[in-house]
Structure 1
Amino acid sequence: MHSLLNIMNVLIAELHFFGHELGDDTLFQDSIDHCYTIAEALGDRQEALHYAQSIDATKGLIRDNIRKVLDQFPDKRRDPEVEGFLNNINSIFGILDIRVREVLARMGHPGKWVTYEIDELTNNFIQVFTAIELNSKGRYHIVYNIASQAAIDYYVDFKITSVDGNTITIPAVFQDVMRDLIANARKYTPPGGSIRAGLHDDGTHLRFVVEDTGRGIPEDQIEAVVQFGERATNVLNKTTMGGGFGLTKAYFVTRQFQGRMWIESEEGVGTKVSIEIPRPGA
């Protein structure tokens, strides 16, 4: 459930910043407390299922809280900063909807493979990149054309191809794994760097690769970083909102589907993570 936990953390931070912008960090306390309640409940399967199924009620509560607060500040409604916060929260809600659908699908059929339109799956990731950029509050941008990359931009190259043409079939949990690994690549790569990721189905195997130009992992720690909660020593001072187990999850999901995972990394140069999973019946 840590993908939902990450979203709750981002949403809590956004509401704190929004309140601070309006002059009072506690303006959205009801919504923040509700998000904390959800975050704390995610460790229990039944509680997590309950909150996933009632996610529309959660969004409604937060929207109602925002509406009541803005009623107190009518002159702020068209303020660019306020509009920016509203756009960010709507973007977070969009990602939340996608994650909840995936969680519900996994909980019902944990080993299920799901067929996606490639355009739909690609758009899901574009939404993720957009949310990441919005959450940076202008500290950096994400671009998809290397010729337009500025010093504070991340260049992202992301492609999906399949022997099946316009569709691709992947484990229900795998979209979450891909997102976590791409988010890790961004997190540990400074602005101005690049992230290349691709998913390909050749008819017998599903292969995913993500490569960055980030901090890298010390050679003697590559095996250790897939263990729960382990982080390389060269990123211990890096503040993150995640649970620190993106690689752990990727490793265990890969094993769950009888696949293989490789990590190639050089400190100060970057990291490449490759996953290969056999297709059912291949």
Structure 2
Amino acid sequence: MTNTPDQSPLGKNSAYQTEYAPELLFPIPRQQKRDELGLAGTLPFFGVDIWNAYELSWLNMRGKPQVAIATFTVPADSPNIVESKSFKLYLNSFNQTRLANTDALLALLREDLSTAVGAPVHAALTLPEDFDKLKMGELDGLLLDRLDVEIDNYSPSPELLKANHEEAAVEETLVSHLLKSNCLVTGQPDWGSVQIRYVGPQIDQESLLRYLIGFREHNEFHEQCVERIFTDILRQCKPNKLAVYARYTRRGGLDINPWRANFSTAKPPNLRAARQ
């Protein structure tokens, strides 16, 4: 039986288990939404979903609480995503769980999440003695939000996107902090910033900003929104190279930061933005 978003813990009262319960993780197949975008067979992108968990705690063998910030990197070609509330419930299940050391914790996290998404998941911990080494940073690029545009449409409209195919190709990085979508199940708002790097025909910036604002009343998970943005820009503007990276604000102690690209480039830095 295939899991669907409406079967997940989202929008439902949930008992918070405080002892290790990997069965709480709720995987959802990625392909359901990719079918809507006409993405079958070889994907037009590669990438990762970067999750940061700020509310991770467990007990040492003497019962003393431990805390850490965890970072998970999920490959975009994994068959499944993990629904975020189930992820939060799963992490909470460590609250009263005694573990010998951080290696034991990491082993469980990697095994359980890899099983859930159907591909190897990288997990890392930042312990309190290293909290001061964590850095913040904003997405770099030319700010689209400076443009004074009139908006009357708040659903994704790829036909808005246009590029100048008559001139020479350009290389640009564009950024907007006005990305907002809604949870696919509950309708609660998800806030984010998005960075678009491309090489190709120059994209009309006003049309791109209108398109991005068009997600404002759209119901879809973070990963799905980023793949929709990537696919729409690729099809409508036909850049030679394209990368889309979104940093979403946290909910329930978790933030999700999907990145998709179609050219050889380094994974973007996992720098927490001011709103996160």
TM-score of the pair, normalised by structure 1: 0.26
Higher helix share: 1
Structure with greater proportional strand content = 2
